[in-house]
Amino acid sequence: MSASRTGIGWDSHRLAEGRPLVLGGITIPHTHGLDGHSDADVLAHAITDALLGAACLGDIGEHFPDTDEAFRGADSLALLREAVVRCAAAGWAPVHADATLVMERPKVKAHKPAMEEALAAALGLRGADVNVKASTGEGIGFVGREEGVAALATVTVERVPATTSSSARPRI
């Protein structure tokens, strides 16, 4: 059995007035934020899906359904931390994450180090093991029209001794 695996993740959320813009756990000043059942952190969601994919544990919607009131307004980094616990229970630990935000505005370059540190902390990694990139929609498509924001991610996991199921309790 291979000792490492890589998963991919993709997510998009609609931009709306009156919502905070939370990306990678960092709230960024902007006229609009992302709409969704949780805090709609599109970057954290893509990374969570990539992590679950690497561990062959399904997807974020199966683990944290948007029909569940428990997850209304949820801190997506808390969901990511819980996904890390569930992966550990299955014998997989993240070792690297790379992600791309696809959004028109605002520029997020200044916030990338803080996002990387916050995401790394949730993944149990060092900031140097997490990379966040940013791209734009060049004025076309839903991103270019500033209707929404998308994110892509890969996460690589390595085989670790599986934790007991008792430690996989939800802790969000």
User: Binding residues for Mg ion, per CB under 5 A?
Assistant: 11, 45
In the complex, minimum distance from the CB of residue 160 to Mg ion, in angstroms, rounded to a whole number: 27
Cβ nearer to Mg ion, comparing 3 with 70: 70
In the complex, minimum distance from the CB of residue 111 to Mg ion, in angstroms, rounded to a whole number: 19
- The residue at minimum Cβ distance from Mg ion is 45
**Separation in Å, CA 152 to CA 10, 17, 97:** 5, 24, 11
In the complex, minimum distance from the CB of residue 42 to Mg ion, in angstroms, rounded to a whole number: 6
In the complex, minimum distance from the CB of residue 13 to Mg ion, in angstroms, rounded to a whole number: 6
- Identify which of 140, 13, 32, 161 has the alpha carbon closest to the alpha carbon of residue 89: 161
The residue with tokens 């029209």 is: 145
Cβ nearer to Mg ion, comparing 45 with 111: 45
- Identify which of 18, 32, 47 has the alpha carbon closest to the alpha carbon of residue 149: 32
CB 86 within 8 A of CB 98: no
φ and ψ at residue 121, rounded to 5 degrees: -60, -40
